[in-house]
Chains A and B, each alone.
Chain A
């Protein structure tokens, strides 16, 4: 993954936790993404551990209360913020029993206030249909960072349901900021071809090429080839200039060009046809980078097209 893209994603997540706009924390993009992530985890601990003992005592009665009564108290008296704190302190099966009796908008508010790491046993047990409902509502509210924090703790069925509940824009944005990006390959595998086509079309329409580049860099070569071929089959004419622009703005020429060089010959041939959509400056910049990295030959027809 590109360090610049990773830094941007980390800063977006920290900004959400601090209640700041990401641009207010621009200065953090010069720090190593791993350090920003570690700092965010420390801050999460500072925000969530402070009152643990206090809330632990409040969670204790839930063991003996019937789930329906506990749900009524949760919704009418405790509210989403306290419920979020209690979610990791209640026995997981009981927590699910209570959650099933709560309205979706309330659960969405709870999800926004939760630290998923503290309630992973609960999250893993949430029924898929409830996950889909909450994911749809979070997507509607633009809460992609919140969704990204939960994705890593969902089982495959729940994950598939969450993806089905999100629109393509939310899916791309969530993939960009999600925790546990090693699952991205598996997530893409869950998507039917028509969803992949819609996602690629959305990337082009909404200008989400940095996010798409990040995705391409993180998945397996096989999945990457499928995605690129999907874009080509969908007739995304801007794919080559858009990817080059994303690679240039994030300083990821080496990984970006290497990624193109590893594509199957047919895809490279088709991509080369789009080199004509690059202007002279763009083509020259790409060619110079390819030559400096000794990748012109590996790029095959793309490298040849850049020379023309």
Chain B
């Protein structure tokens, strides 16, 4: 059985062969690495979106914000 938290982070069942090859500690490490990568990417995307909005005039900014929601 894959660790539920790895499945949740991935949004899918990880390959059973991969799960079987790793110890619980290694699976935990991999799950943390995935979680950190997702958080890092989310932060970078939010930063990029905010930077982009900062370049737009007020009215356009509101319209784009609606698109992004």
Number of A residues near B (Cβ < 8 Å) is: 33
Q: Which residues of B contact A18 (CB under 8 A)?
A: 33-34, 36-37
The minimal Cβ–Cβ distance linking A22 to chain B, given in whole angstroms, is 12
Q: Report A6-34 residues with CB < 8 Å from chain B CB.
A: 17-20, 24-25, 27-28, 30-32, 34
Number of B residues near A (Cβ < 8 Å) is: 33
Contact at B51–A19, with CB atoms within 8 Å? no
Stretch at the interface among A78-86, A187-195, A230-238, A258-266: A78-86
Number of A-B contacts defined by CB within 8 Å? 88
Query: A81 CA to B52 CA in the complex, in Å?
Result: 11
Contact at A20–B33, with CB atoms within 8 Å? yes
Q: Which residues of A contact B36 (CB under 8 A)?
A: 18-19
Q: Which residues of A contact B55 (CB under 8 A)?
A: 76-77
Query: A85 CA to B49 CA in the complex, in Å?
Result: 11
Query: A161 CA to B43 CA in the complex, in Å?
Result: 35
Residues on B lying within 8 angstroms of A by beta carbon are: 9-12, 14-15, 17-18, 21-23, 26, 29-30, 33-34, 36-38, 40-41, 44-45, 48-49, 51-52, 55-56, 64, 67-69
Residues on A lying within 8 angstroms of B by beta carbon are: 17-20, 24-25, 27-28, 30-32, 34-36, 38-39, 42-43, 45-47, 51, 54, 57-58, 60, 76-79, 81-82, 85
